[in-house]
Amino acid sequence: AEMRGSGSGAANMIRALGHRLQALHIHDNDRWHDSHQIPFSMSIDFAPIAAALKEIGYKGWFTLEADHYLKEKFNAENVIEGMKDLHTAAVRFEKLFDEA
């Protein structure tokens, strides 16, 4: 299921799915378009999402689906810098989850 919109809408969907939620593809967007941007760069509030995942005892993977971020800003010569940015965002999300 696609969880577009505010962090609270996504958090409510996470709670509704509960233990049935098995995997996530995390990216940011402007709440209207499926932008596939790096987390923490646009409009999504990830704190309530991380808290809801912690609340349901989520044990799955956190994977980023931020391909547009890489395609728009990087090329073969500097893509490693973009991958470092994605790693930083993933660690930030993991910290939100751990502290929830």
pLDDT in tens, 6-50: 556 889 999 999 999 998 889 998 878 888 899 999 989 999 999
pTM of this structure: 0.85
Say what the pLDDT of residue 1 is. 45
Residue 3, pLDDT above cutoff 60: no
- Over residues 64-82, mean pLDDT: 93
Which residue is it, tokens 């941007």?
Answer: 37
Say what the pLDDT of residue 29 is. 87
**With helix as H, strand as E and coil as C, how does the chain read?**
CCCCCCHHHHHHHHHHHHHHCCCEEECECCCCCCCCECCCCCCCCHHHHHHHHHHCCCCCCEEECCHHHHHHHCCCCCHHHHHHHHHHHHHHHHHHHHHC
